[in-house]
């Protein structure tokens, strides 16, 4: 199985290689060349002058194509993976919502079956449990019925149940949250601060004990607060001040341009991961939808390119796809295409610990590749050397 990609502008993503060539054998990149090369017996993909970049890696995603990872089926997992692959995502971390323990365990079961069956969608990089250990005051669209404090008896059972958890988000100021972070660190699971009212002192202690990522920065998270006359730095300021990674919902709605620019200015492209945080309505027409499981999820309304609670007081997840994140950073935040791609590829790969095989176009890594035009519209998605999506609309 040999493939050669020619006639594209390669985004490595540390530089452009114009008219570059990528050589692929058995799903692995074996060469990045600055000119066309002989590669006998290979299939040739003509990039037609488009950009050729690493596939996008989405660290935080709940659904798409009408499905949610908590729907309770293998089919839902596969359909979400296939839907987002059409928008350039080649790897993702399926994410749960706050729920009862039994529902989480069941979702982990479906994850494992879906992971084994996933042949035509974005690859899965383990599960992200978002909650249920959150601050009630910062619940956002998380169902308050299921929010609780960390309980070692419960999380030890969950950790013993499945080896598929690679990330877990919690509020660090809750009783038991530091112990929980230490335990995640021990298990090699990425711990993230989320849905939190923490002040700097809480976040510092959390950071020192395993929490290295801020979940959807600015969303459901404390900023500067006052207690009587005195000001306290919140989680946002802590994420800026400490050497932490941040992820941002760069759909162009959750964060306005000045905040995107501020985050980029302070953290830079090597500390920022672009995430969709997409719910089931991603890749679907606007209108009514459900956040979380069909059985006991929350009714939401999708309008203005985002999901909202019915009373419109809060966003209820995004309907973004990965191509839109990159487009937003370029068009709204005035970030270079190289840096925008990096925040969707190399940086999330490093944060997830898969940078040895994903996130950049270099020899030895998986041939997860996306080809897109000047408007960052996806033309072709390739996973491990195999084309799994091809835009059938003829180019004008």
Binders of Zn ion among 317-336, rule CB under 5 A? none
Minimum distance from CB of 376 to Zn ion (Å)?
A: 23
State how far the Cα of 238 lies from the Cα of 304, in Å rounded to an integer. 31
Minimum distance from CB of 369 to Zn ion (Å)?
A: 27
Q: Which is nearer to Zn ion, 45 or 76 (CB)?
A: 76
Q: Which is nearer to Zn ion, 137 or 395 (CB)?
A: 137
- Coil, helix or strand for 59? strand
Size of the site for Zn ion (CB under 5 A): 2
Do 158 and 165 touch, CB atoms closer than 8 A? yes
Minimum distance from CB of 394 to Zn ion (Å)?
A: 37
Q: Which is nearer to Zn ion, 95 or 360 (CB)?
A: 95
Minimum distance from CB of 277 to Zn ion (Å)?
A: 4
Q: Which is nearer to Zn ion, 130 or 366 (CB)?
A: 130
Q: Which is nearer to Zn ion, 277 or 366 (CB)?
A: 277
- Residue 149 structure tokens: 């404090």
Binders of Zn ion among 2-41, rule CB under 5 A? none
Q: If binding is defined by CB under 5 A, does position 143 make contact with Zn ion?
A: no
Minimum distance from CB of 140 to Zn ion (Å)?
A: 9
Tokens 């490093």: give the residue: 350
User: Order of strands, edge to edge, in the sheet holding 315-318?
Assistant: 287-291, 298-303, 306-308, 315-318
State how far the Cα of 198 lies from the Cα of 206, in Å rounded to an integer. 10
Minimum distance from CB of 184 to Zn ion (Å)?
A: 18
Q: Is the peptide bond before 132 cis (omega within 30 degrees of 0)?
A: yes
DSSP of 249-286: E-SSSSS-HHHHHHHHHHH-TTTEEEE--B-TTTTS-S
- Residue 180 structure tokens: 């929980």
Of all residues in this chain, which one has the CB nearest to Zn ion in the complex?
277
Q: Which is nearer to Zn ion, 83 or 381 (CB)?
A: 83
Minimum distance from CB of 88 to Zn ion (Å)?
A: 20
Question: What element of type H or E holds 80?
Answer: helix 74-85
- Coil, helix or strand for 146? helix
CB within 8 Å of 161: residues ≥ 6 apart: 105, 108
Stretch that binds Zn ion, among 50-58, 272-280, 338-346, 387-395 (CB under 5 A): 272-280
State how far the Cα of 279 lies from the Cα of 94, in Å rounded to an integer. 11
Residue of 76, 92, 167, 80 whose CA lies nearest to 125: 92
Minimum distance from CB of 307 to Zn ion (Å)?
A: 11
Q: If binding is defined by CB under 5 A, does position 251 make contact with Zn ion?
A: no
Minimum distance from CB of 78 to Zn ion (Å)?
A: 20
CB within 8 Å of 224: residues ≥ 6 apart: 231, 232, 233, 234, 237
User: Regarding beta strands 28-33 and 63-64, do their DSSP bridges make them parallel or antiparallel, or are they unpaired?
Assistant: unpaired
State how far the Cα of 5 lies from the Cα of 23, in Å rounded to an integer. 7
Stretch that binds Zn ion, among 143-151, 237-245, 273-281, 364-372 (CB under 5 A): 273-281
State how far the Cα of 235 lies from the Cα of 216, in Å rounded to an integer. 11
Q: Which is nearer to Zn ion, 190 or 370 (CB)?
A: 190
Stretch that binds Zn ion, among 49-57, 78-86, 106-114, 276-284 (CB under 5 A): 276-284
Q: If binding is defined by CB under 5 A, does position 277 make contact with Zn ion?
A: yes
Minimum distance from CB of 220 to Zn ion (Å)?
A: 9
Q: Which is nearer to Zn ion, 202 or 277 (CB)?
A: 277
Minimum distance from CB of 244 to Zn ion (Å)?
A: 18
Query: For Zn ion, what does the binding mask look like between residues 73 and 112, x meaning CB under 5 A?
Result: ----------------------------------------
Q: Which is nearer to Zn ion, 195 or 342 (CB)?
A: 195
State how far the Cα of 209 lies from the Cα of 268, in Å rounded to an integer. 24
Question: What element of type H or E holds 79?
Answer: helix 74-85
Binders of Zn ion among 122-141, rule CB under 5 A? 130
Residue of 59, 61, 70, 60 whose CA lies nearest to 298: 70
Stretch that binds Zn ion, among 15-23, 99-107, 226-234, 270-278 (CB under 5 A): 270-278
Stretch that binds Zn ion, among 63-71, 269-277, 295-303, 306-314 (CB under 5 A): 269-277
In the complex, the residues that contact Zn ion under the rule CB under 5 A are 130, 277
């Amino acid at each position: 199985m040999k493939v050669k990609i020619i006639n594209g502008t390669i985004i490595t993503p540390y530089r452009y290689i114009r008219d570059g060539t990528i050589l692929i054998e058995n799903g692995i990149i074996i060469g990045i060349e600055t000119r066309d090369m002989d590669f006998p017996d290979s299939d040739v993909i003509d990039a037609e002058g488009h950009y050729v970049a690493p596939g996008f890696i989405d660290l935080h995603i709940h659904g798409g194509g009408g499905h949610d990872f908590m729907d309770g089926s293998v089919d839902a997992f596969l359909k979400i993976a296939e839907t987002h692959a059409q928008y350039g995502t080649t790897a993702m971390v399926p994410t749960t919502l706050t729920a009862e323990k039994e529902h989480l365990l069941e979702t982990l079961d479906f994850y494992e079956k879906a992971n084994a069956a996933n042949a035509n969608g974005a690859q899965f990089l383990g599960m992200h449990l978002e909650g249920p250990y959150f601050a009630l005051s910062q619940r956002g669209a998380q169902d308050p019925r299921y929010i609780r404090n960390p309980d070692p008896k419960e999380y030890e059972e969950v950790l013993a149940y499945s080896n598929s958890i690679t990330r877990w988000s919690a509020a660090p100021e809750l009783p038991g949250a530091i112990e929980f972070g230490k335990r995640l660190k021990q298990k090699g699971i990425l711990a993230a601060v989320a849905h939190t009212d923490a002040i700097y002192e809480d976040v510092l202690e959390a950071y020192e004990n395993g929490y290295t990522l801020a979940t959807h920065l600015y969303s459901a998270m404390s900023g500067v607060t006052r207690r009587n006359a005195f000001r306290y730095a919140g989680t946002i300021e802590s994420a800026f001040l400490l050497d932490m990674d941040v992820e941002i919902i760069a759909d162009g709605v959750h964060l306005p341009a000045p905040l995107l620019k501020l985050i980029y200015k302070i953290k830079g492209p090597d500390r920022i991961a672009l995430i969709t945080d997409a719910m089931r309505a991603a890749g679907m027409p606007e209108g009514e939808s459900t956040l979380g499981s069909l059985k006991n999820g929350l009714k939401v309304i999708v309008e203005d390119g985002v999901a909202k609670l019915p009373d419109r007081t809060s966003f209820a997840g995004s309907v973004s796809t990965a191509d839109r994140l990159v487009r937003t950073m370029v068009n709204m935040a005035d970030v270079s295409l190289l840096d925008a791609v990096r925040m969707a590829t190399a940086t999330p790969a490093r944060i997830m610990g898969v940078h040895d095989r994903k996130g950049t176009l270099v020899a030895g890594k998986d041939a997860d590749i996306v080809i897109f035009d000047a408007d960052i519209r996806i033309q072709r998605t390739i996973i491990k050397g195999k084309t799994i999506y091809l835009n059938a609309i003829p180019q004008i």
